Structure 1
Amino acid sequence: MNDQNRNLILATALSFLVILIWFVLFPPPDPQITDPNTPAATVVDDEGNAIALAPPVATGGDTPQLASDAETRADVLAEAERITIETPSVSGSISLIGGRIDDLSLNNYSETLEDDSPTVTLLSPVGEAEAYYALYGWAPAGDLGFDDVPGANTEWQIESGDILTPDSPVSLVWANGNGLVFRRHIEIDDNFMFAISQSVENTTDTIARMAPYGIVARHGLPSDLQNFFILHEGVVRKVDGSLDEIAYDDMPDLDFVQREGTPADVVDVTENGWIGFTDKYWMTTLIPGQEQPFSSVTRYVPASDIYQTEARLPTMSAAPGETVEITTQLFAGAKEWETIRNYQNEGGIVRFLDSIDWGWFYFLTKPIFWLLHTLHGLIGNMGLAIIALTLIIKGALLPLAFKSYVSMARMKELQPEMEALKEKAGEDRQKLQQGMMELYKKNKVNPASGCLPILLQIPIFFSLYKVIFVTLELRQAPFFGWLNDLSAPDSSSIYNAFGLLPWAPPEPGTIMALLFIGILPLLLGVSMWLQQKLNPAPTDPTQAMIFAYLPWVFMFMLGSFASGLLVYWITNNTVTFAQQYSIMRSQGFKPDVFGNIRSSLSRSKPEKK
């Protein structure tokens, strides 16, 4: 490997190392929260009618009281009459106070790998520390006021159905006592999609005007917030053809909108939009009809520390004796690729797959995930699927690798002539460069060709890291033995002799876990070290020292990465070693791996070939 290639690898490695250290030492700060009260807001529609927006807080404007230590989730849920939700994918209940969908658990996902682990809770009622719910209602227009329309605290009655299942919808009803009868019809499928139909029957002798809305609100930041630079958490929305993401810690800094009374972002969608909150693996999203115009609103309420997304639909008019109705959807569940793809392709939700955080390299992460998902379906083991994916990627890059390693072999053959040029040029750098270029041209060697596989590996590596870190399909995916979650770091540790000693390994994310690494990080370090020994150590003592430490620095730095990523990298290093060794030998240059190892151990300069 020539000096130019060594410098490139060194610069890449050190840059990656600096980025890792920066984000470990300086994570994004948490937003500052205030606690005053804020009133409801009023806006004017296109025809000049006043519309009072829904109160931003589910209790009507006051900060909700949290459950005491003695009060359990069951106690909070028991404070209101409820309709049970039972499907293969979710379970929970709907509160008749406000008709809020505020109790939802994901049946197929557990918090941990322990046998007694509870299922993942997605939505929670007001009164719990992390209230998170969907709320629907009507904003009054014209002569109507808040008392004339259902809102956050309306006491609905059951009109039909007492349990919500895929085969049995439910209907709620509320009459305002002044001639308007409101109904809400709720359906759910086998997965995570609700369909909510809101209607109003006008039995008066005057036109009634109002605007339907949907809200997803969460009180405070989620306790499992990752706050990691590679992952988006917060608002995700589709505005016509574009994707928009707003992180939680950016919401308090939204431009103050006078008509909202709070920091807010209001965007008018002409068609094909949706908005909601996304976590690492879960999502709650409001989805109006796909050709339905609406206002997509992101709002932070400092009065009660509430993060809120809203879908405000246009004002509707109900003539005397007329009933008007609007249907929207609510996705509340896991970001399963196949499920979301079906909602996009068969349900007509435009670009719904973009709700998964594919990142800047989406043109790589999407096909890489598709291939990984397909391989997993064929093989049945995600770890083996990662290995198969690595082999496919290395096979696709083999033509470039071949040219690179052939070039490196020829560079080795030119090493004596290059050393002679250095002695002849002395301190004259320009003369040395001119002589080297003539030498390369004469022997038809391109020194830059050795960089191409390395440069292509960098975006592929980051894309695969993104896929393993973000996608739900890798969560708690087992490999073999102790590797029971490829999205988590290797749980083995030198600290307890890899399980032979009777004490637990260090907690992930601690200094002890970083120092006492597991089997996969060790294999990674060894594979990088062996790959390095295909070439003699640099003649420059400083470069030689840096390159000697690099494999072990990476071993410690990457030891806390997802084990699935380490499986990829170990496989990649092993295949790269085999490719480089065999290709260089085919060109007449035999890498002296054992000789280079002996030289590095004895700290003596290896003999020239």
Structure 2
Amino acid sequence: VITYPIFNVLMLLYHLFGDFGLSIIVLTIAITALLLPLTLRQLKSMKVTLALQPELAEIRRRHAQDLKAQHEATQELYKQHGISSASSFLPLLIQLPIFIGLYSALNIVLNHASIAHLNSIIYPFLPQLSSIPNIDLNWFTFLNSAWHISLGVPDPTHILPILAGVMTFVQMRMSQPHAIAEIQDATLQLTQLMQFILPLIMVVITIFIAWQLAAGLALYRTTSLLLNMIQQYFVTGRGSLFAVPHVGGIPDNGGLKNGTQRQQTQPRHRSSSSRGSVQSKGAYARRHKRGSKKNRRRD
């Protein structure tokens, strides 16, 4: 159902451009354009969520010992601002069948089918094939003549899997909220640390998968992530892309412990000054009183 339409779209683009790699990129751009309304809705919800981070942090602090109450308060806050969790996953759910169809088109149809079989599934308005389409990618041969990639098999140069991994990290960090500079709560510190570690884990998973699948899938994924990053930058900004998680107290004053000590020593210093001021005023009052008594005696 999905494989043959995607295959025919690729064949149409291949006849237009004569380059299978460029055909995959144009297909990715077309899919991204079709999903643009859903993606913009998702990004706007993400922007509101990022703006609500102080309130979400307060909810986590207030209900730190009651996860159920924390979840209910969070959902109520989302409801008040019109945020739907389902809208965040809808573009991904739509792209998943396309990804599977592209996988089938590259790995099953193009690698194992005969010319007669390919011509039998090509739509009537497309020209018939006289030979197997050239699915080679020679874009990187100017760097190294050995960097010759066939989009129907795993990338032997590993350029595309690594690019897909890097794009995954950047896109995930851009979708995360800005780190709060001064955090004293250990739970929130751990949350920020996990927000930094999770993209690294996803990078490893992405590279591992792309390392074994057809290079055309890695090209599709990398292009899709790049387009999503561009959209995301203009709607929500760069997020926590360049942020570093703060762990171990307040970074600006050398840690929570030192900051607390300074806060405690300052009131003591002020209290000592206040006592000295009161004593000085009392001594002045007593001298003034004795002087008044002497003046009365003279009179």
Tell me the TM-score normalised to structure 2 length.
0.63
Structure 2 CA distance for aligned equivalents of residues 549 and 381 of structure 1: 34
Please state if 1:591 is matched with 2:229. no
CA distance in 1, matches of 2:208, 2:216: 16
- Distance change in 2, residues 1:529/1:605 (3 Å): farther
Match of 1:478 in 2: 136
SS for the counterpart of 1:533 is helix
Q: Which residue of 2 aligns with 1:457?
A: 95
CA shift, 1:387, in A, is 0.3
Per-residue deviation at 1:553? 2.9
Deviation at 1:576, TM superposition (A): 1.1
Give the letter for the 1:523 counterpart: L
Instruction: Measure how far apart 1:380 and its partner are.
Output: 0.8
1:523 matches 2:163: yes
The structure with more radius of gyration: 2
Change (3 A) 1:577 1:555: same
Candidates 221, 224, 246, aligned match of 1:569: 221
| Corresponding residue of 1:160 | none
Q: Distance in 2 between matches of 1:367 and 1:543?
A: 38
Q: Which residue of 2 aligns with 1:304?
A: none
Distance 2:12 2:166 in 1: 31
What is the TM-score when the length of structure 1 is the normalising length? 0.32
**Structure 2 CA distance, aligned partners of 1:574 and 1:449?**
21
Matched with 2:144 is none
CA displacement 1:177-208 (0-9 Å, x = unmatched): xxxxxxxxxxxxxxxxxxxxxxxxxxxxxxxx
- Segments of 5+ residues of structure 1 without an aligned counterpart are 1-361, 493-517
Which residue of structure 2 lines up, in the alignment, with residue 467 of structure 1?
Answer: 105
Paired residues, what number?
Answer: 212
- Choose between structure 1 and 2: higher strand proportion: 1
Q: Whole-Å Cα distance in 2 between the matches of residues 520 and 400 of structure 1? A: 27
* d(CA) in 1 for partners of 2:219, 2:250: 32
Q: Which has the higher contact order (CA 8 A, sep 6+)?
A: 2
373 and 605 in structure 1: CA distance in 2 versus 1, 3 angstrom threshold: farther
Q: Structure 2 CA distance, aligned partners of 1:436 and 1:400?
A: 23
* Structure 2: distance between partners of 1:378 and 1:415: 48
Q: CA deviation at 1:457?
A: 2.1
**Structure (1 or 2) with the greater helix fraction:** 2
SS in 1 for 2:5: helix
In 1: Cα distance, 2:90 partner to 2:224 partner: 16
* % identical equivalent positions: 31
Matched, 1:393 2:41: no
Cα deviation, residue 483, structure 1: 3.3
Is 1:490 aligned to 2:130, yes or no? Answer: no
Which secondary structure does the structure 2 equivalent of 1:559 belong to? helix
For 1:572 and 1:425, the matched residues in 2 are separated by: 38
1:559 aligns with 2:211: yes
| Contact 2:210–2:217 (Cα < 8 Å) also in 1 | no
Q: CA deviation at 1:476?
A: 4.9
AA of the residue aligned to 2:80: K
- Aligned partners of 2:134, 2:78: CA distance in 1, in Å? 51
